[in-house]
Amino acid sequence: MEIRRLSHMPELDAATRLEATIWGASDPTPRSLLVVFAHHGGVVLGAYDGDDIVGVTVGFPGIDEIGTVYLHSHLLGVLPAYRRSRLGEALKRAQWRYAEEMGLPYIGWTYDPLMAPNAWFNLSVLGAQVQGLWENVYGSLGDAINGDLPTHRIWVAWNPTRPPLQAWGERRIMRIPPGVAELRRSDPARAREQADRFFGQMTAWWNQGFRVMGAGRDESGVWYEWSETSEKVNR
């Protein structure tokens, strides 16, 4: 398996097709935009099994709400047959090496708080830190993963050289309900209620001054660990 930076048209084309396959999307990131990212300060990486692209990550410089320039990671995807063998992690770590080389202090991205594998991957495997909660940030995406659900998202920042946040005071746990993906397939209306309810609970705790310190998991699922913290957001 090899990870390399993409810049030529045929490989960017292949990256677009891979994105469409993974998300089942009719409107993947246009190739023209990938060309812009690849040639104007962005980082487009492909993971290859021989000649075949099996994983992709796309990032470009962004400016956060306090004026810091960072690498915004637009997407990360690995073909189902190649998952759970640390390829996603390897792509993120490669992405970080480029960000660091460019002098950027962190990589930022969003993810769906109800996606337990992603929560574990982002917060525990990588150690990204939760920076904020964004309500229905992309509107309805209509793809195979998101359907017509509201796109409530967690906004994380990741710099693997930073120490974790220090918890203090009261700690709380918020479990991700089981069967989220199944409910989304079988009953979209209830899945929407679930998404709104879970995000509403997160927002309520956030507004009480609690922050997400990380994720835990056992055989019954994944949970968020919350605590008061004496530190400002760490990025």
Ligand X SMILES: CC(C)(COP(=O)(O)OP(=O)(O)OC[C@H]1O[C@@H](n2cnc3c(N)ncnc32)[C@H](O)[C@@H]1OP(=O)(O)O)[C@@H](O)C(=O)NCCC(=O)NCCS
What's the longest Cα–Cα distance across the chain? 54
Q: What's the CA gap between 5 and 48, in Å, rounded? A: 11
Minimum CB distance to ligand X, residue 141 (Å): 11
Rounded Cα distance, 70 and 83, in Å: 27
Identified binder of ligand X from the candidate list 24, 27, 52, 85, rule CB under 6 A: 85
Q: Which stretches of 109-224 are DSSP H helices?
A: 116-119, 180-186, 188-207
Q: Taking CB under 6 A as the rule, does residue 120 contact ligand X?
A: yes
Instruction: Based on the shown chain and the rule CB under 6 A, indicate whether residue 123 belongs to the binding site for ligand X.
Output: no
Compare residues 109 and 226 and give the one whose CB is closer to ligand X: 109
Our CB check for ligand X shows the closer of 23 and 205 to be: 23
Question: Rounded distance, CA 221 to CA 135, Å?
Answer: 24
Shorter beta-carbon distance to ligand X: residue 62 or 205: 62
Among 83, 162, 172, 192, binds ligand X (CB under 6 A): 83
List beta partners, residue 71: 61, 107
Q: How many residues bind ligand X (CB under 6 A)?
A: 18
DSSP state of 146: T
Q: Which helix (H) or strand (E) holds 127?
A: none
Residues 7-66 contacting ligand X, CB under 6 A? 22
Q: Which of residues 76, 107, 212, 215 is near ligand X by CB under 6 A?
A: 76
CB 214 within 8 A of CB 225: yes
Q: Is residue 143 within the footprint of ligand X (CB under 6 A)? A: no
User: Where does this chain bind ligand X (CB under 6 A)?
Assistant: 22, 75-78, 83-89, 111, 117-118, 120-121, 125
